[in-house]
Structure 1
Amino acid sequence: MTKVLEVRDLHVSFKTYNGEVQAVRGVSFDVDEGETVAIVGESGCGKSVTSQTIMRLIPNPPGFIKKGEIIFDGKDLAKATEKQMEKIRGADIAMIFQDPMTSLNPTMTVGKQIMEGLMKHQKMSQGEARRKAVEMLKLVGIPSPESRLKQYPHQFSGGMRQRAMIAIALSCAPKVLIADEPTTALDVTIQAQIIDLMKELQEKINTSIILITHDLGVVADIADRVVVMYAGKVVETGNLDEIFYNPKHPYTWGLLASMPRLDQSEDQELLPIPGSPPNLLSPPKGCPFAARCKHAMKICTEQMPEATKVSSSHQVACWLEHPMAPEVKPPALAVGGE
């Protein structure tokens, strides 16, 4: 498989009046051609900051890349100038934002917003861009695309606005599409349609997708590989089956056990993860999940564990994987199919 994107030891911080917030602390992962990688974790774990840093959309100041590399097409985007990034954004790497209503320009027609990227990156004439815009709206399933082209975002429903965002993002056939919580504000029926649409378009265009989400149901439906983040760090990575059927990190167990499942009885309670994430103004020196983990040992609070290889595609950063650690089994609710 050809790697299209490599993130290596990425550290991103924000300067505040109270000190330095270490939002991303040593994140590493790859994305292969035509692959969907889901980055999951609770709010504040650093997944959206990671995705926005890849696009270099973090405002500086207060945010800055402290360390690390973002390798795309042989170039390190962490060191790219704003002029270089303008050529890459929208053309080679595109993004679907969480809330389409605030991401679309309310003063411009939807057609003009699709055409803008085509004219800038593909050097199309206005007529060519208009024809391509109609084609893109048709591709994402918007009825009467010719008339919809002339309408403004407020004239679209929530689901149609998200489809329009996807049309804008995919209009230049990018190599990487970053989808930041693309279904959060939508009802479940529209969510399913958007996920199906993304899968269908991925097959047609062969784009790679980075999906940022906290919804493990969406992950199960679309992802090939999963990166689990907690407190700015990657705690576990693996393919879909490994994460859902053989999870190794107690935080991954907690995420899976707190998710409703069809095979549960009606009176089966969901298991929340007790406690709160650590303060990233002064992150713990050991495992960031130690304070909330009922299996934590003394070493967990003193030293961050190295990533242990479970298989060629499965890695976990947890002291429970050490040969001297006691054997602990995940709760039944945290393992799919049990």
Structure 2
Amino acid sequence: MKENILDVDNLHVSFKTRNGEITAVKGVSFSLKKGETLAIVGESGSGKSVTAKSIMRLLPKHSAVIPQGEIKFEGQDLLELSLKDMQQVRGSKISMVFQDPMTSLNPTMKIGKQIMEGLKKHQTLTKSEARQRALEMLELVGIPNAKKRLDAYPHQFSGGMRQRVVIAMALACIPQVLIADEPTTALDVTIQAQILQLMKNLQEKMDTAIVLITHDLGVVANMADKVAVMYAGEVVEYGTLDEIFYETQHPYTLGLLGSMPNLNAKRSEPLIPIPGSPPDLATLGTGCPFAARCPYTMAVCHDYHPRKTELSESHSVLCWLQDSRTPENHAPETVGSAQR
């Protein structure tokens, strides 16, 4: 059995603001093995990207605080590394693909030079060897006429091709973990499918573990082995793909699944959105942060925060409905065959 390559345990992240310290990530825990894909899903503002940037140590120094938690990569806590040591990890062992490739690429530098930069920093390659490796990576991610495109600038590529270039940069040093922060959001569905298939193919070749951040459950169904559902900075449900889709236990996860288009439904059937909006993290009360939007809410939900309930070795949920202290079982029916 493979050992965990990445372990995030009880991670808390806060930001200093004029109105005081706001907790953006609260008690997040998950693990990842080589070759696995973990999808982190949730609405905007749920803490997905902050969690990813915490792993990469890319949070703003002057405002971000990590008061507790561990991020262990191959047994080493990344939060204890010096900046110099962390720079050796970024790009070579853990890489990240950001949502908008134009924010990741330098518009004044040729594509080949940008890929070579990371190779020369992390590997003992000559300039010609680094250029050859950059060429191989462009060919690997499906860039046509790759030799000529090495000397092109980012604005000379389409959105989908720029995303392929960013993936080539991230995988150039063959990292063990790839973090993809909504890598297909800005792309049309045809290009999106190509990028996702590319990531799956590269994962099989390199045995890379992937942390995929997305709000698209269709992408999750095609890519993930495990799923962490985040809401208001917390992982409210965590489990395998089948457990999250077919044995759903948290009302928020049910809401996300219920708002997906169903290809088997009649045209007249409307989508069912989750009512309300995500809470303001600066004004969270003591109860469950989803209580105001939950159709199954109880009196205890408004006053006391739920504790984690372990449903199986791989499946856990943060909800009063499954808590053993709840006198009556009010749990909603699981999605089951309705999602099949």
Which TM class, normalised by the smaller chain length? over 0.9
TM alignment of 1:319-334, pairs within 5 A: 319-323=320-324, 324-330=327-333
Return the alpha-carbon distance in structure 2 between the equivalents of residues 74 and 312 of structure 1. Answer: 21
C-alpha distance after superposition, 1:243-279 (max 9, x if no partner): 1111000000000001112112111111111112222
Q: Check conservation: 2:296, 2:330, Cα contact below 8 A.
A: no
Task: Quote the residue 1:217 is aligned against.
Answer: 218
How high is the sequence identity, in percent, across the aligned residues? 60
Task: Quote the residue 1:158 is aligned against.
Answer: 159
SS in 2 for 1:190: helix
Residue 281 of structure 1 and its aligned partner are, at CA, apart by 1.4
Return the alpha-carbon distance in structure 1 between the equivalents of residues 38 and 338 of structure 2. Answer: 20
Q: Check conservation: 1:257, 1:334, Cα contact below 8 A.
A: no
How much is the aligned-residue C-alpha RMSD, in angstroms?
1.4
Return the alpha-carbon distance in structure 2 between the equivalents of residues 237 and 161 of structure 1. Answer: 33
**Bigger CA drift: 233-242 or 281-290?**
281-290
Residue 283 of structure 1 and its aligned partner are, at CA, apart by 2.1
2:70 counterpart of 1:69: yes
SS in 2 for 1:281: helix
Task: Quote the residue 2:339 is aligned against.
Answer: 336
Residue 121 of structure 1 and its aligned partner are, at CA, apart by 0.2
Residue 326 of structure 1 and its aligned partner are, at CA, apart by 2.8
- Give the letter aligned to residue 203 of structure 1: E
Task: Quote the residue 2:286 is aligned against.
Answer: 285
TM alignment of 1:1-338, pairs within 5 A: 1-323=2-324, 324-330=327-333, 335-337=338-340
Return the alpha-carbon distance in structure 2 between the equivalents of residues 316 and 234 of structure 1. Answer: 8
The answer for unaligned runs of 5 or more in structure 1 is none
TM-score by length of 1: 0.97
Return the alpha-carbon distance in structure 1 between the equivalents of residues 319 and 264 of structure 2. Answer: 29
- Give the letter aligned to residue 92 of structure 1: K
- Give the letter aligned to residue 138 of structure 1: E
Residue 331 of structure 1 and its aligned partner are, at CA, apart by 7.5
The answer for unaligned runs of 5 or more in structure 2 is none
Pair 1:322–1:331, CA change in 2 (3 A): closer
Return the alpha-carbon distance in structure 1 between the equivalents of residues 232 and 336 of structure 2. Answer: 23
**Bigger CA drift: 166-175 or 307-316?**
307-316
C-alpha distance after superposition, 1:46-74 (max 9, x if no partner): 00000001000001111121211101122
C-alpha distance after superposition, 1:182-217 (max 9, x if no partner): 000000000000000000000000010000000101
Return the alpha-carbon distance in structure 1 between the equivalents of residues 234 and 132 of structure 2. Answer: 44
Return the alpha-carbon distance in structure 2 between the equivalents of residues 182 and 210 of structure 1. Answer: 11
**Bigger CA drift: 26-35 or 273-282?**
273-282
TM-score by length of 2: 0.96
- Give the letter aligned to residue 68 of structure 1: G
SS in 1 for 2:282: coil
Return the alpha-carbon distance in structure 2 between the equivalents of residues 16 and 245 of structure 1. Answer: 40
Aligned length: 337
Q: Check conservation: 1:5, 1:70, Cα contact below 8 A.
A: yes
**Bigger CA drift: 223-232 or 15-24?**
15-24
Return the alpha-carbon distance in structure 1 between the equivalents of residues 245 and 46 of structure 2. Answer: 20
SS in 2 for 1:311: coil
SS in 1 for 2:261: coil
Residue 302 of structure 1 and its aligned partner are, at CA, apart by 2.0
SS in 1 for 2:16: strand
SS in 1 for 2:118: helix
SS in 1 for 2:202: helix
Q: Check conservation: 2:322, 2:331, Cα contact below 8 A.
A: no
Return the alpha-carbon distance in structure 2 between the equivalents of residues 330 and 44 of structure 1. Answer: 28
Return the alpha-carbon distance in structure 2 between the equivalents of residues 332 and 63 of structure 1. Answer: 38
- Give the letter aligned to residue 204 of structure 1: K
Return the alpha-carbon distance in structure 1 between the equivalents of residues 283 and 180 of structure 2. Answer: 30
Residue 335 of structure 1 and its aligned partner are, at CA, apart by 4.7
Pair 1:172–1:332, CA change in 2 (3 A): closer
Residue 180 of structure 1 and its aligned partner are, at CA, apart by 0.1
Residue 120 of structure 1 and its aligned partner are, at CA, apart by 0.6
Q: Check conservation: 1:250, 1:330, Cα contact below 8 A.
A: no
Return the alpha-carbon distance in structure 2 between the equivalents of residues 279 and 170 of structure 1. Answer: 37
